[in-house]
Amino acid sequence: MTTRFPHLRAAIMQQPWAIMPDRLEAIAEVVERRVEGIRLSPEEIASIKGERRPNGVATLFNGDTGQLMDVSAAASGTSPSASVIAVISFFGIVAQHASQVDDISGPGGTSTERVGNSLRAALNDPSVKAIVINFDSPGGNVNGIQVLADEIYNSRGQKPIVAQVNSLCASAAYWVACSCDEIVMTPGAMAGSIGVYSLHQDVSRAVDAAGLKFTFISAGKYKVEGNSFEPLSEEAGQAAQSNVDAFYSDFVSAVARGRGVSVDDVIGGFGEGRVVKDKQAVKAKMADRVDTLDGTIRRLSSAKKSASAKANAVDLLDAQSAAEVPEANNMITDALEGTGSVEAGGAAGPLEASSASASESDAFRRRRHAHRLRSL
């Protein structure tokens, strides 16, 4: 593979990415063409990357019928009772800022900022009874992903938040999806590609053959390490690997947290960097069920808050879960006052007791909300 702008390609490829490799090559191609003065149309960009239209904003579905709401009905306001399903599209290559999406992905990319804004709007809208994030993405840059994933995870318990894989949820997209309450795979869908990478391209021999020589004038010991005009040194390679490893650790930890499994389970059993098909993903605990987007919307629409049987079941689970974490409130109070203790280790400080109580309370909250979802 040759390139007219090795420094530009290197600047793109050396950043840590949680994306499928062929899509990153497509990004580099689009940017290089733009530098050459070739302005691709949105349709041409979408053709290169297999993407469709601007997204990251919510589409509203009637929570009583499951049907798409027309623009006039949505604009006229909704009833104060929860009657709307908000579907947020998450398509194409992911970047943090909307301007970045426009620069590298055109109308087919996703901005984590836009998705976060749409999520908060749906959570704060009393007419929205449930939120579906509709994924068809190969992943993207790691920037902004952890913030969005944490925000979704911390929003659990307010309203059901369902990730619909329709039909690709890879790398950074799966990082986000795992923070939802539930992952639903459309038949034939693929999910996973858990990993992070960057790429160093050494063009020094090509530069020599062209009779060129590049000399960096720099300050700072490592300022120009890893540049594409010289072989990658062992020290620079180790630094790049350390950076990738740090992002990967954050990635697998978020997946383990969201899916309720251990980090070792994620590293050794969640595809090991491969994407996994619908039923196999469910079997591996990477997803919860197989269903279409329409089926998910109908299921959420049919859930009635007034269903007494479900409410009684939730109350029963609450009582059982509360019994598993006895005197949780007292433990928190003791921690704040510095009186918490542990049997085996003597007196526990406020931080240790508070951390244990918070962990148990969070587990209780997640079990309760998971049960509510299963009741839908």
DSSP, residue by residue, 227-243: -TTSPPPHHHHHHHHHH
Evaluated on CA atoms 102, 183, 150, 57, the torsion sign reads positive
For the chain, the maximum distance between any two Cα atoms, rounded to a whole number of angstroms, is 80
For tokens 């009635």, name the residue.
Answer: 304
Residue 244 pLDDT: 93
- Cis check: omega of the bond before 72, within 30 degrees of 0: no
Q: Closest Cα partner for 271 from 174, 193, 158, 375?
A: 193
pLDDT at residue 99, as a whole number? 62
- Radius of gyration (Cα) for the chain, nearest Å? 24
Q: How far apart are CA 234 and CA 240, in angstroms?
A: 10
Please count the residues of the chain. Answer: 376
- Whole-number pLDDT of residue 154: 97
pTM to 2 decimal places:
0.69
pLDDT of residue 334: 43
259-262-264-265 Cα dihedral, nearest 10 degrees:
-50
Distance CA 166, CA 303 (A): 22
Distance CA 207, CA 282 (A): 50
Q: Which helix (H) or strand (E) holds 43?
A: helix 42-49
Instruction: Give the type of residue at 175.
Output: W
- Identify the residue whose tokens are 């000399």: 215
Are the C-beta atoms of 63 and 301 separated by less than 8 Å? yes
d(CA 160, CA 372) in angstroms, rounded, equals 9
Which residue, 237, 287, 278, 255, is CA-closest to 18? 255
Q: Which H/E stretch holds residue 119?
A: helix 112-124
d(CA 130, CA 272): 32
The DSSP letter of residue 339 is -
Q: What is the pLDDT of residue 107?
A: 55
Residue type present at position 281? A
> Distances from the Cα of 100 to the Cαs of 3, 48, 103, 351, in angstroms?
23, 18, 5, 41
C-alpha–C-alpha distance, residues 179 and 148, integer Å:
9
Helix or strand or coil: residue 180?
coil
With a CB cutoff of 8 Å and minimum separation 6, the contacts of 294 are 66
In the block, residue with structure tokens 């180790």: 238
Q: What are phi and psi of 65, to 5 degrees?
A: -110, -20
Closest CA relative to residue 50, chosen from 84, 16, 26:
26
Residue 303 phi/psi, 5° resolution?
Answer: -75, 120
Each residue's pLDDT expressed in tens, for the chain with a length of 376 residues: 455 666 666 666 666 666 656 666 666 676 666 666 666 665 555 555 444 445 677 888 887 676 777 544 444 444 456 689 999 999 988 888 866 655 554 556 888 999 999 999 999 999 999 999 999 999 988 889 999 999 999 999 999 999 999 989 999 999 999 999 999 999 999 999 999 988 888 889 988 898 988 889 999 999 989 888 989 999 999 999 999 999 999 999 999 999 999 999 999 999 999 999 999 999 999 999 999 999 999 999 887 643 433 444 344 444 444 444 444 344 433 433 443 433 333 444 443 444 445 555 555 555 555 555 555 6
Report CA-CA distances (Å) from 222 to 214, 239, 258. Answer: 17, 10, 37
User: Tokens for 139?
Assistant: 């992943």
pLDDT score for 108? 66
Report all structural domains of the chain as residue ranges with CATH numbers, in order of start.
Answer: 6-197+239-302 (3.90.226.10), 308-374 (no CATH)
- Residue 136's pLDDT is 94
